[in-house]
Amino acid sequence: MKLNLFWPVYKNLEKEVLNLTYAIHFSDKQLNTYSNKIAELILRCGTYIESVSKELYKEEFKKDNNDFLQCIDKFIKEWKLEEKVVQIAAQNMYFSENQQIFPFKKDEKKHRFKNGNKIFEKKGKPRDVWLEDDKKEIHSWNNAYNGLKHDYSRHLKYFGNVKNLLQSMAALYLLNVYYKNKKVADSINKGDFPDSLGSDLFIVNVLAKYSERQKDLIEVLKSLEWVEVIG
């Protein structure tokens, strides 16, 4: 059995996110709420997304790749990762319109700050210009991770928010599911058994044979003598 160092790290991050829900009301109207703590969690998520992506790539394709985005693009191509849906299921989160997350769907334009050379404030100092790159769409969590990593102070209020935190956590969760058991991960979206697979924050729909909920249900039915135990 392989040593999985990534799942305990994910669970520790998840615990911190859930503790944060007692300080911030996680709901549709609060998606743009930002803070230093949220930004810190996004940066930590990004670091571990890089690590688990490279490790998963090495394990599945038997070679190294130090470009984690190339690793993820390979997963998208081979496993249709962009179609995998993660649903928010934490008891202390109150989303009605934003419960489902597609963490590996490239649906956000790349943004960056640039010092304006021709646009000046009255005092003659260059003004920051917020640019959108129409030529490239990327994952929202990666947009946030890069923005915060390379220019934290200017990007905090744009990227260090609840929305990007949940996107980042969903991406890390999904990669961890693949790292733990690829057969289970491949069944996501193909079945209708909602299962957390060990998370206190998210659930996914998996095939019944992989569902912990089904195992629990069978045990309950056995105890009620509704299921005959064979063998």
Mean pLDDT of 183-189: 91
Report yes or no: 86 and 170 within 8 Å, Cβ to Cβ: yes
CA torsion through residues 149, 172, 31, 199, sign: negative
Indicate whether 124 pLDDT > 50. Answer: no
Percentage of residues in the chain with pLDDT exceeding 70? 80
Instruction: Give pLDDT tens digits for 28-39.
Output: 999 999 999 999
Q: Tell me which residue of 68, 51, 65 sits closest to 139, measured CA to CA.
A: 68
Question: CA torsion, points 136, 47, 37, 21, in degrees to nearest 10?
Answer: 90
Looking at per-residue confidence, does 156 or 136 come out higher? 156
Report yes or no: 175 and 49 within 8 Å, Cβ to Cβ: yes
Q: Residue 12: which region, alpha, beta or left (left: phi > 0; alpha: psi -120 to 50)?
A: alpha
pTM: 0.84
Can you tell me the distance from the alpha carbon of 114 to that of 158, in angstroms, rounded to the nearest whole number? 14
Query: What is the token pair recorded at 97?
Result: 């319109």
Query: What is the token pair recorded at 226?
Result: 């509704």
Can you tell me the distance from the alpha carbon of 163 to that of 31, in angstroms, rounded to the nearest whole number? 5
Instruction: Give pLDDT tens digits for 80-119.
Output: 999 999 999 999 999 988 899 999 998 877 766 555 433 3
Per-domain boundaries in the chain: 6-106+134-189+199-205
What pLDDT is stored for residue 191 in this prediction? 83
